[in-house]
Amino acid sequence: MKAAFYTLGCKVNQYETQALGEALAKEGFLIVPETQEADVYIVNSCTVTAESDKKTRQAVRRFKREHPESTVVLTGCMPQAYPETAAELIQADIVAGNRNNDRLPEMIKSYLENKNRTVSVKEHENDETFTVCSISSFDERTRAAIKIEDGCNRFCSYCIIPYARGRVRSKPLDEIKKEAQTLADNGFEEIVLVGINLSSYGTDCGLTLCDAVKAVCEVERIKRVRLGSLEPDHMTDEIIAGLKAQKKLCPQFHISLQSGCSATLKRMNRHYDAPEYERICNALRSNFEDCTITTDVMVGFAGETDEEFAESLEFVKTIGFEKVHVFPYSQREGTRAAKFPNQLDRRTKQERAKAMADTANEIRRAFLNSQIGKTVEVLAETKAEDGSCTGYTANYTPVKIQNGAECSRFYTVKITAADDDSCYGEII
Ligand code: SF4
């Protein structure tokens, strides 16, 4: 039996696809790319925006249309948040949610035997504990993700994720360490820790993010540890000091901003304002040498005035982010903000997204150019047909090595040029 995955969304979903794939392989399935013929197609969905839902629906319908004899499975955040809408997608033979992931191989095997359509989305519960799953490999060859946390307690007014993921729960430290050791034994030298609200790690069990980072850093063959997206107000002086003590931690921090305007942040039910955010960035930059800060910015939130948008844009320039992911606000049914007055039209959101992205790209270009002349350490990751190899520095600056590098090796590289997306350099 062959099974193929189509994964939408964040690194947590990618991790869960890997874990599900390994669980299915143990049951005798061969995992193949989704472009190939398979007996089972699994859509691991995302529901963060209306666009993600659209892609999920399209994928489910496409797999059934192109492979009518196959079994199509819909799982992940979309059915978890909107089970009734998901159940209506009749092209899916199995509809499950991320809460059912540990039972999914069993559900698939049972469907293959009796062919009874199964719709079973188990709801999240407040006292739920972390469902331990683990991986031994990852799609990317040099860097593997470890999911250390699930769920979110924050209920930002625009976000459906707490409904799709339940409350904060943390992976036990010994499990994290064991998984990092397995990945290191399988050749991974770089680990990225991910979660739904990563910086909440440990709040349910008396630990902190620093404990999880330390557990991975203690694995001898791991050379670099990175962190996924972090909430600014979780980055207290104590946490920053604890992270600084871990020498393998890369000086690259993705600190979720959403808006640079304090009034907008308040309506979003974010737990910080713009001055506090700026203070945290300054603290990170003064504690970590060559530190880069990246972020997400939402534009066109309900009621965002021209002045508020201008303030947000100005703030992005003030911080000088090394990279920004810009996205327009998407109304999600079931959230408070979906009912807020003064929703913006699509065109205004798109214009703001473009203006914000143009500003962010200009800052990034200046940053990449400022790296020319520096000597950096690069872990080479992917090889192009022309023989060049792309990799990343510790602070996640992309570097194309032009003189004969091999993947999965560290090189000392002199940066000689840069363009809009990357630096270029030569091994010295
Ligand atoms: S912190 Fe806010 S935006 Fe992030 S997952 Fe939680 S509710 Fe959503």
CATH of the domain at 251: 3.80.30.20
Q: Is 48 in the pocket of ligand 1 (CB under 6 A)?
A: no
* Kind and range of the H or E run holding 377: strand 375-383
Q: Which long-range contacts (CB under 8 A, 24 or more apart) does 277-284 make?
A: 277/232, 277/319, 278/315, 278/318, 278/319, 280/232, 280/233, 280/235, 280/255, 281/255, 281/319, 283/235, 283/237, 283/240, 284/235, 284/240, 284/253, 284/255
Residues 254, 274: one domain? Answer: yes
Residues 147, 202: one domain? Answer: yes
Residues 274, 358: one domain? Answer: yes
Q: Is 197 in the pocket of ligand 1 (CB under 6 A)?
A: yes
- What SS3 string covers 248-292? CECCEEEECCECCCHHHHHHCCCCCCHHHHHHHHHHHHHHCCCCE
133 within some domain? no
Residues 165, 68: one domain? Answer: no
Which DSSP string do the residues of 21-48 spell out, in sequence order?
HHHHHHTTPEEE-TTS--SEEEEEE--S
Predicted local confidence at residue 419, as pLDDT: 96
Indicate the residue among 86, 120, 154 that finishes a domain: 120
Average pLDDT over residues 329-337: 96
169 within some domain? yes
Predicted local confidence at residue 402, as pLDDT: 87
Q: Is 300 in the pocket of ligand 1 (CB under 6 A)?
A: no
Indicate the residue among 335, 354, 370 that finishes a domain: 370
pLDDT tens-digit readout, 216-239: 999 999 999 999 999 999 999 999
Q: Is 66 in the pocket of ligand 1 (CB under 6 A)?
A: no
Its domain, for residue 358, covers 143-370
Burial of 66 (0-12, 13-18, 19+ CB in 10 A): exposed
Q: Is 152 in the pocket of ligand 1 (CB under 6 A)?
A: yes
Ligand 1: distance of its center to the CA of 322 in Å? Answer: 22
What interhelical angle do 346-370 and 306-319 show, nearest 10? Answer: 10
Residues 346, 379: one domain? Answer: no
Residues 179, 68: one domain? Answer: no
Residue 140 pLDDT class (50, 70, 90 cuts):
low
Atom of ligand 1 nearest to the CA of 196: 5
**CA 246 to chain CA mean position, Å:** 22
137 within some domain? no
- What residue owns the CA closest to ligand 1's atom 8? 159
380 within some domain? yes
Predicted local confidence at residue 304, as pLDDT: 98
Predicted local confidence at residue 142, as pLDDT: 87
Q: Is 159 in the pocket of ligand 1 (CB under 6 A)?
A: yes
131 within some domain? no
- Residue 82 maps to which CATH number? 3.40.50.12160
Predicted local confidence at residue 139, as pLDDT: 74
Predicted local confidence at residue 365, as pLDDT: 98
pLDDT tens-digit readout, 382-424: 999 888 899 999 999 999 998 888 998 999 999 999 999 999 9
- Residue 379 maps to which CATH number? 2.40.50.140
Ligand 1: distance of its center to the CA of 153 in Å? Answer: 8
Residues 333, 315: one domain? Answer: yes
How high is the mean pLDDT of the chain?
A: 96
Total number of domains constituting the chain: 3
Q: Is 154 in the pocket of ligand 1 (CB under 6 A)?
A: yes
Ligand 1: distance of its center to the CA of 156 in Å? Answer: 6
pLDDT tens-digit readout, 370-390: 999 999 999 999 999 888 899
125 within some domain? no
The structure's pTM equals 0.96
Q: Is 156 in the pocket of ligand 1 (CB under 6 A)?
A: yes
Indicate the residue among 350, 370, 390 that finishes a domain: 370
Percent of the chain with pLDDT over 90: 95
Residues 40, 92: one domain? Answer: yes
Atom of ligand 1 nearest to the CA of 155: 7
Which residues neighbour 406 within 8 Å (Cβ) at sequence distance 6 or greater? 380, 383, 389
Per-residue b or e along 315-331, where b marks 16 or more CB atoms closer than 10 Å to that residue's CB? bbeebebbbbbbbbbbe
Q: Is 379 in the pocket of ligand 1 (CB under 6 A)?
A: no
Residues 233, 359: one domain? Answer: yes
Residues 364, 237: one domain? Answer: yes
Ligand 1: distance of its center to the CA of 285 in Å? Answer: 24
Ligand 1: distance of its center to the CA of 428 in Å? Answer: 44
Q: Is 391 in the pocket of ligand 1 (CB under 6 A)?
A: no
Residues 305, 420: one domain? Answer: no
Widest CA span of the chain, in angstroms? 65
263 within some domain? yes
130 within some domain? no
Residues 404, 312: one domain? Answer: no
